[in-house]
Amino acid sequence: GEDVEQSLFLSVREGDSSVINCTYTDSSSTYLYWYKQEPGAGLQLLTYIFSNMDMKQDQRLTVLLNKKDKHLSLRIADTQTGDSAIYFCAETPGGSGTYKYIFGTGTRLKVLA
Amino acid sequence: DAGVIQSPRHEVTEMGQEVTLRCKPISGHNSLFWYRQTMMRGLELLIYFNNNVPIDDSGMPEDRFSAKMPNASFSTLKIQPSEPRDSAVYFCASRPRSSVGETQYFGPGTRLLVL
């Protein structure tokens, strides 16, 4: 069935790189997303990657997609305390035009000063 | 742009009471989503509207839940009667007709506690 899996917790020191991993199940997903949720707030879209891409870079964020292994990762360079939040991976099974987004359980990133 | 607006931000009620959550999508967006977030089940899609019409309500847990979208700028999610297991954060999200990456935009959520 449809499932997106993430590890629950990640702790890094300020200034280090963070890598958050995600595995998904639907190879027909057109887009894969990373969202950030800060305490008491909604989900904020960080970035997304089209399924025919291997990598996307956006300032401190690098997304890597391995379609063969259905593995998605988000790398945050020079992690800051403001990056502490829950990060959700999501996919769109069913391809383009879908309204269904399957979200992972979220990875809670804690940045230590 | 003000983003997606939800009200109330927090709601505490007693079991059996009616609860109404409100959402104002981003102007010009034609798709609207209601989600529920809990620790146990994560983020679940409750209902999806397109052009104010409910397209998929298969995620609505029970008949106690109902949602309406009377116009393009307003939607409600009603729980009647409410139960303690309905305690969760309820998010509304909207998406424009032509959305690069088919991205949706989330509101800040309504934190509901049913005692």
Instruction: Encode chain A (113 residues) as per-residue pLDDT tens digits.
Output: 568 999 899 999 999 999 999 999 877 777 899 999 998 889 999 999 988 889 999 999 999 999 999 999 999 999 999 999 999 999 887 666 678 888 999 999 999 98
pLDDT of residue B1: 65
Output the six-digit token pair for A27.
């190879």
Q: Are A24 and A91 in contact (CB under 8 A)?
A: yes
Taking CB atoms and an 8 Å limit, are A88 and B43 in contact across chains?
yes
Contacts of A10 (CB under 8 A, 6+ apart): A18, A19, A20, A107, A108, A109, A110
What distance in Å separates the CA atoms of residue B22 and residue B84, rounded to the nearest whole number? Answer: 20
Residue A97's pLDDT is 67
Which of B36, B99, B104, B105 has the most A C-beta neighbours within 10 Å, making it the best mutation to test the interface with A? Answer: B104
Strands B88-96 and B74-79: unpaired
Report the sign of the C-alpha dihedral through residues B107, A70, A49, A74, in that order.
positive
Ramachandran bin of A68, using left for φ above 0, alpha for ψ from -120 to 50, beta for the remaining angles: alpha
Q: With an 8 Å Cβ cutoff, is B42 touching chain A?
A: yes
Predicted local distance difference test score (pLDDT) of residue A99:
84
Phi, psi values for residue A102, rounded to 5°: -100, 120
How close B23 comes to chain A (CA, Å)? 13
Q: CA-to-CA distance for A71 and A49, rounded, in angstroms? A: 12
User: With an 8 Å Cβ cutoff, is B98 touching chain A?
Assistant: no
What tokens were used for A72?
């998605």
Q: Which residue of B has its CA nearest to A96?
A: B102
B-interface mutation test, from A89, A98, A99, most B Cβ less than 10 A away? A99
Of B72, B75, B71, B77, the closest CA to residue B59 belongs to B77
pLDDT in tens, B34-77: 999 998 888 999 999 999 999 999 999 889 999 999 999 999 99
Tokens of B112: 């509901």
